[in-house]
Amino acid sequence: MLKQLILENWKSFRYAELPLDPLTVVIGTNASGKSNVVEALEVLQIAFTREDIKPALVGDSIVPSIRGGVEWAAFKPKKKFTLKVVIQGEDINTDYIYSITVKTKPFLQVLEESITYQEYRINSKKNPIIKDYLKACFFNENQKYIYQLHDKYILEVNVTPSQTILTNPKLIEGIRIYMEQNIIEEFFYYIKNIFILNPIPSKMRFYSPIGEKLETDASNIAGVLAALPKKQQIEVQETLSDYMKFLPEADIQKVWAEKVGRFKTDAMLYCQEQWKPGHITEIDARSMSDGTLRFLAILTALLTRPEGSQLVIEEIDNGLHPSRAELLVRILREIGSKRKIDILLTTHNPALLDALGPEIVPFVVVAHRDSETGESKLTLLEDIDNFSKLFASYSLGDMTTKGAIERSLSRNE
């Protein structure tokens, strides 16, 4: 599982560390850097999937550019950035750190990628043993990448400047005989299964093609639900219906998707509503509210993503009535835990923060800006100097609405 994200000279961050737990909550005011954290994970996922950093930053016909494009990818006035993720190995005392350093000017280029082995002493997280496992470096003088395994030169290759070299299957085959275990495959799995969910209700309302994987905007939700194997489809639709009945004022009896058309290559999302006993109305996605569709998208992602996925949802409370915050929290905890899906969410919603309860405090991270340098920072909520006094005076939701967190952070600077 992913344990930590590290940002170096990334967008508005000079340096920051974000712990990743089964449920991690990032809060902060507008323009504090929350979206930049989400984009870092998205860039890593796209780069691993496409085997190239260019589409992740510049965009193409499949994925859009990041906000600001390459020009604003590195913290000004720097011309390169580094993104790192820490992944827990099979042994709980062993971590692996994947790192990629990218130059943005005068042209886009991957300078270095590496996987570092980090072993902790039993029952201690201090002074770990750190060793280079696999490194690929670019050398300008010969326009080649050099692979090193355990500090030993093993292979020299030509690749395009923006290629993410540790994800190239042909190149990996060339060094597999030198590797002690399939560490690369582990990284493939966890980084490729980062999923950024940004449901767009207007795109969810119509027929969608049958498909296996949910799109980030959830536009093909009907096609994904209708394509599930029959047994799984029944289980997923029953779970959707069980949770959805608590969402609206009306009683939703059933939620499902089915294939439509002569060739059954498309699908539509439906539900049954009961406003009074014995009076059931069937509607399709075209009549569903934005909040209902966003809620369905979150549920569907939790129920259909592979186990071990990292699900990232920005502004998770969009379109959600405050009275349903507890329902959303229950869903995240119950399904996330059952299916081993870790969740990172950002929110401004005081009702949602209060619904998360005091037990979420160790997993709340505050994004904020340094008043002198303007750089973004990430601070664990419980690490704020006077947090115990704040927590005695306010609920978590009140802390955000009354600006108590920001005032405390500004006094600490």
Q: What is the pLDDT of residues 365-405, one digit of tens each?
A: 999 999 889 999 999 999 998 898 888 899 999 998 988 99
Looking at residue 179, its pLDDT comes to 55
Q: Say if residue 70 is in the same domain as residue 176.
A: yes
Tokens of 228: 């599930």
Q: Say if residue 12 is in the same domain as residue 116.
A: yes
More confident residue, 193 or 348: 193
Distance CA 299, CA 293 (A): 10
**22 in any annotated domain:** yes
**9 in any annotated domain:** yes
Q: Say if residue 125 is in the same domain as residue 8.
A: yes
Q: Say if residue 184 is in the same domain as residue 246.
A: no
Task: Indicate whether 149 pLDDT > 60.
Answer: no
Range of the domain at 51: 2-192
Residue at which a domain ends, from 307, 323, 349: 307
Q: Say if residue 115 is in the same domain as residue 188.
A: yes
Task: Indicate whether 117 pLDDT > 60.
Answer: yes
Q: Which run of H or E residues covers position 398?
A: helix 396-401
Looking at residue 154, its pLDDT comes to 60
Angle (CA) 392-396-401 rounded to 5° is 110
More confident residue, 164 or 125: 164
Q: Are 318 and 205 in contact (CB under 8 A)?
A: no
Mean pLDDT of 117-133: 72
Phi, psi (degrees; rounded to nearest 5) at 93: -95, 10
Q: Say if residue 35 is in the same domain as residue 170.
A: yes
Task: Indicate whether 176 pLDDT > 70.
Answer: no
Looking at residue 262, its pLDDT comes to 92
Q: Say if residue 140 is in the same domain as residue 249.
A: no
Distance CA 74, CA 11 (A): 5
More confident residue, 94 or 42: 42
**390 in any annotated domain:** no
Q: Say if residue 260 is in the same domain as residue 169.
A: no
Looking at residue 138, its pLDDT comes to 60
Task: State the pLDDT confidence band at 145, using cuts at 50, 70 and 90.
Answer: low
Task: Indicate whether 312 pLDDT > 80.
Answer: yes
Number of structural domains found in the chain: 2
**123 in any annotated domain:** yes
Q: Say if residue 163 is in the same domain as residue 221.
A: no
Mean pLDDT of 333-359: 95
Residue at which a domain ends, from 192, 227, 254: 192
**235 in any annotated domain:** yes
**313 in any annotated domain:** no
Looking at residue 357, its pLDDT comes to 93
Percent of the chain scoring above 90 in pLDDT: 61
Q: Which amino acid is it at 261?
A: G
Contacts of residue 265, defined as CB under 8 A and 6 or more positions apart, other chains included, come to 209, 210, 259
CA distances from 213 to 52, 179, 303, 304 (A): 21, 32, 12, 8
**399 in any annotated domain:** no
Task: State the pLDDT confidence band at 246, using cuts at 50, 70 and 90.
Answer: confident
Average pLDDT of the chain? 88
Tokens of 389: 């006094």
Mean pLDDT of 334-351: 95
Q: Say if residue 165 is in the same domain as residue 248.
A: no
Contacts of residue 145, defined as CB under 8 A and 6 or more positions apart, other chains included, come to 136, 137, 138, 139, 156, 157, 158, 159, 165
Distance CA 24, CA 54 (A): 29
Most confident range (mean pLDDT) of 134-138, 151-155, 207-211, 321-325 is 207-211
**387 in any annotated domain:** no
DSSP state of 52: B
Q: Say if residue 41 is in the same domain as residue 138.
A: yes
Looking at residue 245, its pLDDT comes to 86
pLDDT in tens, 70-81: 999 999 999 999
Q: Say if residue 209 is in the same domain as residue 180.
A: no
Mean pLDDT of 285-309: 95
Residue at which a domain ends, from 307, 331, 347: 307
Task: Indicate whether 352 pLDDT > 60.
Answer: yes
Task: State the pLDDT confidence band at 141, using cuts at 50, 70 and 90.
Answer: very low
